[in-house]
Amino acid sequence: MKAALNGVPGLSVLDGWWIEGHLEGGTGWAIESQGGDANSLYEKLEWEIAPMYRERRDDFISVMRHAIALNGSFFNTPRMLLQYLNRAYFL
Protein backbone atom coordinates (compact mmCIF):
# COMPACT_ATOMS: atom_id res chain seq x y z
CA MET A 1 0.00 0.00 0.00
CA LYS A 2 2.90 2.38 0.68
CA ALA A 3 4.12 1.87 -2.87
CA ALA A 4 0.91 3.40 -4.24
CA LEU A 5 1.82 6.69 -2.53
CA ASN A 6 4.97 6.71 -4.65
CA GLY A 7 3.17 5.95 -7.91
CA VAL A 8 3.98 2.26 -8.09
CA PRO A 9 1.20 0.37 -9.89
CA GLY A 10 0.12 -2.88 -8.27
CA LEU A 11 0.74 -6.32 -9.73
CA SER A 12 -0.58 -9.04 -7.48
CA VAL A 13 -3.17 -11.75 -6.96
CA LEU A 14 -6.55 -10.47 -5.85
CA ASP A 15 -6.37 -10.82 -2.09
CA GLY A 16 -6.09 -8.51 0.89
CA TRP A 17 -6.37 -4.81 0.13
CA TRP A 18 -5.75 -5.38 -3.58
CA ILE A 19 -9.27 -6.76 -3.98
CA GLU A 20 -10.57 -3.29 -3.12
CA GLY A 21 -7.77 -1.25 -4.70
CA HIS A 22 -7.57 -3.09 -8.00
CA LEU A 23 -8.69 -1.35 -11.16
CA GLU A 24 -7.31 -3.38 -14.08
CA GLY A 25 -5.01 -1.21 -16.16
CA GLY A 26 -5.97 1.78 -14.01
CA THR A 27 -4.17 1.29 -10.70
CA GLY A 28 -2.27 -1.83 -11.71
CA TRP A 29 -2.90 -5.38 -12.83
CA ALA A 30 -4.21 -8.60 -11.30
CA ILE A 31 -2.45 -11.93 -11.54
CA GLU A 32 -4.81 -14.84 -12.11
CA SER A 33 -4.66 -17.22 -9.18
CA GLN A 34 -6.20 -20.31 -10.77
CA GLY A 35 -3.06 -22.38 -10.29
CA GLY A 36 -1.17 -20.51 -13.01
CA ASP A 37 0.22 -17.60 -11.03
CA ALA A 38 3.63 -17.67 -12.71
CA ASN A 39 2.19 -17.92 -16.23
CA SER A 40 -0.24 -15.09 -15.55
CA LEU A 41 2.55 -12.96 -14.11
CA TYR A 42 4.83 -13.47 -17.10
CA GLU A 43 2.03 -12.89 -19.61
CA LYS A 44 1.01 -9.62 -17.95
CA LEU A 45 4.62 -8.45 -17.86
CA GLU A 46 5.40 -9.48 -21.44
CA TRP A 47 2.20 -8.47 -23.21
CA GLU A 48 0.79 -5.57 -21.18
CA ILE A 49 3.10 -3.93 -18.67
CA ALA A 50 6.50 -3.93 -20.40
CA PRO A 51 5.12 -2.76 -23.78
CA MET A 52 3.17 0.01 -22.06
CA TYR A 53 6.27 1.08 -20.12
CA ARG A 54 8.52 1.03 -23.21
CA GLU A 55 6.21 2.19 -25.99
CA ARG A 56 3.35 4.09 -24.37
CA ARG A 57 5.07 5.91 -21.54
CA ASP A 58 2.22 8.42 -21.14
CA ASP A 59 -0.22 5.56 -20.53
CA PHE A 60 2.09 4.06 -17.93
CA ILE A 61 2.45 7.42 -16.20
CA SER A 62 -1.34 7.65 -16.16
CA VAL A 63 -1.52 4.31 -14.33
CA MET A 64 1.07 5.64 -11.86
CA ARG A 65 -1.00 8.77 -11.27
CA HIS A 66 -4.16 6.73 -10.75
CA ALA A 67 -2.32 4.55 -8.21
CA ILE A 68 -1.47 7.69 -6.23
CA ALA A 69 -4.87 9.36 -6.64
CA LEU A 70 -7.10 6.36 -5.98
CA ASN A 71 -5.15 3.96 -3.80
CA GLY A 72 -2.80 6.39 -2.11
CA SER A 73 -5.63 8.64 -1.03
CA PHE A 74 -7.87 5.87 0.30
CA PHE A 75 -5.58 3.14 1.66
CA ASN A 76 -3.79 5.00 4.42
CA THR A 77 -3.46 4.79 8.19
CA PRO A 78 -5.57 7.83 9.18
CA ARG A 79 -8.58 6.58 7.17
CA MET A 80 -8.14 3.05 8.49
CA LEU A 81 -7.97 4.20 12.12
CA LEU A 82 -11.03 6.42 11.82
CA GLN A 83 -12.97 3.63 10.15
CA TYR A 84 -11.88 1.16 12.82
CA LEU A 85 -12.85 3.52 15.64
CA ASN A 86 -16.24 4.27 14.13
CA ARG A 87 -17.08 0.64 13.49
CA ALA A 88 -15.61 -0.88 16.65
CA TYR A 89 -16.36 1.74 19.30
CA PHE A 90 -18.94 4.19 18.01
CA LEU A 91 -21.45 1.80 16.51
pLDDT, tens digit (0-9, with 9 covering 90-100), for 27-45: 999 998 766 788 999 999 9
Residue ranges covered by each domain of the chain: 2-88
Q: What is the pTM of this model?
A: 0.79
d(Cα 63, Cα 83) in Å, to the nearest integer? Answer: 27
- Closest C-alpha among 60, 55, 76 to residue 11: 60
pLDDT, tens digit (0-9, with 9 covering 90-100), for 59-85: 999 999 999 999 888 888 888 899 889
Q: What is the pLDDT of residue 32?
A: 85
